[in-house]
Amino acid sequence: MDPELLETQAAPQPFQLLSHLEEAEAPEGLQLPLRAHQLQSLAWMQACEGEREPLLLGASREFLPALQPPHAAQQALVEAVKCRAVARVQRAFEVRGGVLADQVGSGKTAVTLALVVSDRNSHQASRTLVLAPGRLLQQWQHEAWKFLDRGMQVLDEDLRVAPVEPGEPQLLVAPVELLSSKRRLEEDSFATRLRRLQLSRLVVDEFHELSDGALAQLRPPSPATAPMALWGLTGTPALEGFGSVARLAQVFAVELGVFRRQLDAAALAQKALDYLARAQGAGCRLTSHPVHEELVTLHHTPAERALYAQHAAEARKGRLAAPELLQLCSHFHLTEKDTDAEAESAQLLRARQDAKATAKEWLALAAAKVAQQVPRMIKAAESEVLAEQYAQLLAEVGTAPHAEHAQLAGARAAGARQNAGRHEREADALILEAMRVEEASEESQGASQGAEVFGDGLELLEDLKQAKEAFRQRSCEVAFLSAMLDAAENQSFRCPICLNEPEPTERAILAACAHLFCLQCASTLARRGECALCRQTLRKGEAAEVVRVREPGAVEEQLERKRWGRFGSKIFQVVRKLHKIEEQDPRARAIVFVQWAALRRKLAAAFTEFQVPFVCLEEAADGRALNFWERDDVVGSFQNAPEDSTQGPKVLLLSLQDAASGTNLTRANHVLFVHPMLAKTSRLSVAYEQQALGRCLRLGQTRPVYLWRFVTLGTAEEDLSYRHQQELWRGLSDAPRHRRAASASAEAAARERESESDVDLDDLFW
């Protein structure tokens, strides 16, 4: 049963993970000591692999006469016998293993290795296989040497291993990508191949990253056929709702789907979660050094501002998706096109002008078709309304093919309206009624011809309406973009309402009609819902109706602009921050996180041009995608650099979505978020950022950690960044921190929504 389809009548609520209070004894053979929270996790894992009571989940039902609503006699019977007949059905689930969801960076790898070492107390042969993302294979090997004084055997796609020697636990590791290998899935199921290995324990690292298809490969057919213990390791488990918990439980052959319609379904899911998962280390200190967080705020240049405002308007109309708008906060072009903002804005303006000309031609052609139909319409149906609307459209478009027919019909319609009074809708109704009466008195053939002509005319009128709307929209887009570009550069402007001469930072354009006012007057008009110049209707109270020409503090750096213009303001600020970090500490290393491939390639090009030594986990210098073995080498070259070294790559460029979890990168102590993460939910977005910060903020970090968030003010990412900043530290209470808040407007907006448990991401964009 697909957990995505699971529904529950219980009110949605966040699920909680228990912690384990008892500590285990440190096993013999472990080279390094464990912390208290790690010993607690070890004790729970040992208990889960031992003999423990099964998980009991059940449903109860009261047997009474089937009367809805209950009859009085039924109540009297129950009170008389003072008992009720209740049937309770329980199902027992035998589970070996579970999910260890300790805090990001708290040392789950060390706990797992300690669990392997504890197998030495058993006289039976023991074999443990760890499935880890390819980028983490070398890290697991390194940890094995550090804690066990021996390495791990790395398996290839064939999963061939040496025989197990009694008394000595065998430790294997393989890339988890094998779960999704198409060739292997076609030849044989991965679950079957795992059973052939005769494993005592299977550990899946970064459990939260697995897709449903990969999880299905781990799922045992039944507990009886799965004597091995199954473990999942994750720092950010997905616990958004009943479906998420059901998906997790299904991996351990615990079917919650049968209880989904019970009123206590959420309570049963929480009970299953209490049995299957634990989270330790929520309050432990991962590092003795403080964590510094700072928002690096920046402003668009006038050209970038004009481009963003145009795209934001398209987003409000549903023509641009939220991920694309968020990308435009970081760079003015979605593709890898090599151009600067000024050239891009000029090209966009030309494209808008061409679209306007095309729409005008379409409108003229549609008007001509209607003009040809007008005489037939007048003769067939006396359609004065159609002719009057046609005459009005001809005046708007500026051309008048066959205008004499339109003027004649328009005059007749005007006379009908005058006779009907000032209520034009009533006049239209009178004309339509007259048309129906005249049609009814026609001969049958004539009536048929008239109806056909009238239907054709309505189709042409509909086409004409569409052409008119397209022409209006294109005209508004051209006017809006032109006004944005002119108003940002023009130093002389007088507001047509208050007659003041505001600075470019105090000028605003109405999005609906592209008329320019001072910011105060534009805001007043938006509240009133109408433009003072053209009487265009505005959406009352919509802040998006007022577009600021230039944000306060936006200053162009003319000397550098020729070099960084094609990269945009934000990428330039990222490069400048990296240069400053290197100047202050030549030994420092930094990780730059970005979500989208196109933006990552722009950053890579900027790093190359501005001489920032870097390596990228996803792609080689020639643009070739790296396999997981090569990615492992990239991580090793960055992480294993000596602490006092000033040579080698100073920056690691990582995907915020695909490479944010698991890797131990304590060699770096600077984390740069180019933009806020965008996932399906706000909680999931923050979980990605927690994993990203956890690459540096983890056990073994010996230096202060710095988190830099880059935020373009006046864009959709401003409020989103502030939300993530607040929620991130709610989930990471492990170290003292110093952070700088976002702008006052973002703070106020966030406080208004402080009580919300989650956020609809669409609300953050339009």
User: What is the mean pLDDT of the segment spanning 375-380?
Assistant: 58
Which has the higher per-residue pLDDT, 237 or 125?
237
Q: Which of 91-105, 160-174, 588-602 has the lowest mean pLDDT?
A: 160-174
Residue 619 burial (CB count, 10 A)? 15
Query: Considering its fold, how many domains does the chain have in total?
Result: 5
- b or e along 742-761 (b: 16 or more beta carbons within 10 Å of the residue's beta carbon)? bbeebeebbeeeeeeeebeb
User: What is the mean pLDDT of the segment spanning 258-270?
Assistant: 77
Instruction: Indicate which CATH number applies to the domain containing 741.
Output: 3.40.50.300
Work out whether strand 55-63 and strand 85-93 pair parallel, antiparallel, or are unpaired: antiparallel
Tell whether 65 and 173 lie within a shared domain.
no
Tell whether 66 and 42 lie within a shared domain.
no
Q: What percent of the chain has pLDDT over 90?
A: 8
Tokens linked to 156: 């290839």
Tell whether 164 and 228 lie within a shared domain.
yes
CA distances from 105 to 308, 576, 695 (A): 38, 29, 7
Which has the higher per-residue pLDDT, 339 or 751?
339
pLDDT at 140: 87
User: What is the mean pLDDT of the segment spanning 257-269?
Assistant: 76
**Is the confidence at residue 467, as pLDDT, over 80?**
no
Q: How many helices (H) and strands (E) does the chain have?
A: 24, 19
Question: What whole-number distance in Å separates Cα of residue 726 and Cα of residue 746?
Answer: 11
82-91, 207-216, 461-470: range with highest mean pLDDT: 207-216
Nearest to 387 by CA among 365, 403, 410: 410
Q: How confident is the model at residue 677 (pLDDT cuts 50, 70, 90)?
A: very high
Which has the higher per-residue pLDDT, 500 or 380?
500
Tell whether 681 and 707 lie within a shared domain.
yes
Is 9 part of a structural domain of the chain?
no
Q: Is 282 exposed, middle or buried (0-12, 13-18, 19+ CB in 10 A)?
A: middle
Instruction: Look over the chain and give the mean of its residue pLDDT values, rounded to a whole number.
Output: 72
Inter-axis angle of helices 341-381 and 403-420, nearest 10: 70
Q: Which of 203-207, 307-311, 333-337, 498-502 has the lowest mean pLDDT?
A: 333-337
> Are the C-beta atoms of residues 582 and 650 closer than 8 Å to each other?
yes
Tell whether 599 and 577 lie within a shared domain.
yes
Question: What whole-number distance in Å separates Cα of residue 502 and Cα of residue 494?
Answer: 7
User: What is the mean pLDDT of the segment spanning 212-236?
Assistant: 71
Tell whether 758 and 700 lie within a shared domain.
yes
pLDDT at 610: 87
Q: What percent of the chain has pLDDT over 70?
A: 58
Nearest to 301 by CA among 675, 545, 558, 576: 558
pLDDT at 86: 62
Last residue of a domain, one of 78, 93, 108: 93
Tell whether 128 and 238 lie within a shared domain.
yes
User: What is the mean pLDDT of the segment spanning 500-512?
Assistant: 75
pLDDT at 137: 83
Tell whether 222 and 310 lie within a shared domain.
no
> Are the C-beta atoms of residues 501 and 493 closer than 8 Å to each other?
yes
Last residue of a domain, one of 548, 582, 606: 548
Which has the higher per-residue pLDDT, 656 or 672?
672
pLDDT at 149: 75
Q: Which runs of consecutive H residues, i.e. helices, occur in 553-648?
A: 558-564, 568-584, 597-609, 628-639
User: What is the mean pLDDT of the segment spanning 754-766?
Assistant: 41
Work out whether strand 670-673 and strand 229-233 pair parallel, antiparallel, or are unpaired: unpaired
Is 2 part of a structural domain of the chain?
no
User: What is the mean pLDDT of the segment spanning 135-163?
Assistant: 76
Question: What whole-number distance in Å separates Cα of residue 570 and Cα of residue 187?
Answer: 48
User: What is the mean pLDDT of the segment spanning 298-305?
Assistant: 78
Tell whether 616 and 658 lie within a shared domain.
yes
Which has the higher per-residue pLDDT, 545 or 58?
58
Nearest to 231 by CA among 105, 46, 91: 46
**Is the confidence at residue 296, as pLDDT, over 60?**
yes
User: What is the mean pLDDT of the segment spanning 263-276?
Assistant: 85
> Are the C-beta atoms of residues 179 and 190 closer than 8 Å to each other?
yes
**Is the confidence at residue 452, as pLDDT, over 80?**
no
Is 604 part of a structural domain of the chain?
yes
Tell whether 461 and 511 lie within a shared domain.
no
- Domain range spanning residue 337? 305-355+472-548
User: What is the mean pLDDT of the segment spanning 89-110?
Assistant: 87
Tell whether 151 and 122 lie within a shared domain.
yes
pLDDT at 240: 76
User: What is the mean pLDDT of the segment spanning 473-493?
Assistant: 67
Q: How confident is the model at residue 743 (pLDDT cuts 50, 70, 90)?
A: very low
User: What is the mean pLDDT of the segment spanning 22-27?
Assistant: 81
pLDDT at 652: 92
Instruction: Indicate which CATH number applies to the domain containing 349.
Output: 3.30.40.10
**Is the confidence at residue 9, as pLDDT, over 70?**
no
pLDDT at 481: 66
pLDDT at 592: 95
3-state secondary structure string, 674-700?
CCCCCCCCHHHHHHHHHHHHCCCCCCC
pLDDT at 551: 56
415-418 LR contacts (CB < 8 Å, sep 24+) = 416/384
Q: Which of 140-154, 240-254, 386-400, 613-627 has the lowest mean pLDDT?
A: 386-400
3-state secondary structure string, 199-250?
CCEEEEECHHHCCHHHHHHHCCCCHHHCCCEEEEECCCCCCCCHHHHHHHHH
Is 8 part of a structural domain of the chain?
no
Is 590 part of a structural domain of the chain?
yes
Which has the higher per-residue pLDDT, 746 or 64?
64
Q: Which of 653-657, 726-730, 760-764 has the lowest mean pLDDT?
A: 760-764
Tell whether 527 and 588 lie within a shared domain.
no
Q: Which of 156-165, 200-209, 505-514 has the lowest mean pLDDT?
A: 156-165
Last residue of a domain, one of 436, 466, 496: 466
Is 743 part of a structural domain of the chain?
yes
Q: Which of 62-66, 82-86, 117-121, 753-757 has the lowest mean pLDDT?
A: 753-757
Is 171 part of a structural domain of the chain?
yes
pLDDT at 698: 83
**Is the confidence at residue 594, as pLDDT, over 90?**
yes
Is 5 part of a structural domain of the chain?
no
pLDDT at 253: 86
Question: What whole-number distance in Å separates Cα of residue 645 and Cα of residue 648?
Answer: 8
